[in-house]
Structure 1
Amino acid sequence: MPSDLSMLNTQILGLINGDVRAFEQVYKHFSKPLLRHIHSITKDEEQSFDILQMTFIKIWHNRQEIDQEKSFQAFLYQIANNLSIDYLRKVAKDLKKQEELWNNSIIHSLSVEEEYIIKEKKKIIEAVIDQLPQQQQRVFRLIKMEGHSYAEAAEILQLSPATVSNHLTAAVKSVREILTNNSNQLFFILFIINGLI
């Protein structure tokens, strides 16, 4: 039976070769500890998640540059560190934002490019969800996008929790099928890093 390290190395190799499923496994392995690391630098929960997303999008775009002879984790954390430091530099240019940072307030300091990426990401996600049957759309949005519990969604939609669960399972399956049939792998990546599938 292969060790966890051997399995991870296989997944990283798959990522390098453009395998979206391998990317998904690598993301699941590293995302939580990396998010904590980013947050320890930025002190900003929302911005930390944005940086996490940008980090993995960069990993995907630059996957051919990954050196299997070197630590993948070090490569990943270096990208996250650079993005986090860039963010802090932007904040430091504005004394008011700097003061808010020290008070651990939420800060929005996005470049034009970052704002464009976020807007385009939302458009892509909405375009895919719009292809689902209406009830599946409602359940998917309430639970996956708005963060409601199954019980809360059931109460809002006047359905049983079991029915809500069935709709969500069907919705996630449909979304995966839609994304699999789409030639743009980045769409799949966006749904993975947003925890929607």
Structure 2
Amino acid sequence: MANLSETIIHQAIQGDKIAFAKVYQHYRTPALKFSIALLKDTEEAENMVHDVFIKIWDKRSLINPDLNFSSYLFTCLRNMIFDYLKQLEKSQLLRQRYMERMERATEEDQEAIEIRSRVLQAAINALSEKRKLILLLNVEGGKSYQEIAESLRISKNTVKNQLVKAKQLLRERVDLAG
């Protein structure tokens, strides 16, 4: 990967969108390869690269232009991926614990599960129509963020944000009832 001129990086950091587009084009492929190597998931790697560039653009005024931009980019990307993997691991652990509890469930527990299921359904019904539609397309329909975004003509980031908010609200409501 040939070095990008420091002038272009300086211009991008100062808010020049055309220069930033050049920085993005220059680093996108190596950043994507790096992300795929760590995540083993092309779609999520693309999301991470996209998100890290948005974050860099938003925080460009805090970037020291005298430091190595490439190191900065890959450090940000690595940290973002590690945070994601920690959250994923936590989510998988919670899912595993849930499955273990389900295996030990008795008939008495079945009633509690049914109540919890009704509470969950009520919580889903209480979501806004758009948020509910996005959640159902993802969970029941098995649609990817990209597929949902295209079918609803919204950004993939909006889909992601709406799913995070929906799941957070559902968790809160089900935990309060449980």
TM-score for the superposition, normalised by structure 2: 0.51
Does residue 118 in structure 1 map to residue 157 in structure 2? yes
Alpha-carbon shift at residue 94 of structure 1 (Å): 2.8
Specify whether residues 21 and 78 from structure 1 end up closer, same or farther in structure 2 by C-alpha distance, changes over 3 A only.
same
Q: Work out which of the residue numbers 35, 39, 46 in structure 2 matches 1:49.
A: 46
Q: Distance in 1 between matches of 2:87 and 2:76?
A: 17
**Which is greater in Rg?**
2
Identical columns (%): 29
Does residue 82 in structure 1 map to residue 79 in structure 2? yes
Which structure has greater helix proportion? 2
Does residue 72 in structure 1 map to residue 81 in structure 2? no
> What is the match of residue 29 of structure 1?
26
Deviation string, structure 1 residues 158-187 (Cα, Å, up to 9, x no partner): xxxxxxxxxxxxxxxxxxxxxxxxxxxxxx
Q: Distance in 1 between matches of 2:9 and 2:94?
A: 38
> What is the match of residue 90 of structure 2?
93
Alpha-carbon shift at residue 97 of structure 1 (Å): 9.3
Q: Distance in 1 between matches of 2:63 and 2:157?
A: 25
TM-score for the superposition, normalised by structure 1: 0.47
8 Å contact kept, 1:42–1:48: yes
Alpha-carbon shift at residue 68 of structure 1 (Å): 2.1
8 Å contact kept, 1:91–1:98: no
8 Å contact kept, 1:38–1:52: yes
> What is the match of residue 38 of structure 1?
35
Look up the SS of the partner of 1:94 in the other structure: helix
Alpha-carbon shift at residue 23 of structure 1 (Å): 0.3
8 Å contact kept, 2:13–2:65: no
Q: Which runs of 5+ in 1 are unaligned?
A: 100-107, 109-115, 122-197
> What is the match of residue 11 of structure 1?
8
Counterparts of residues 134-149 of structure 1 (less than 5 Å):
none
Give the counterpart letter for 1:77 in structure 2: F
Greater Cα offset, 88-97 or 56-65: 88-97
> What is the match of residue 59 of structure 2?
62
Structural RMSD (CA): 3.1
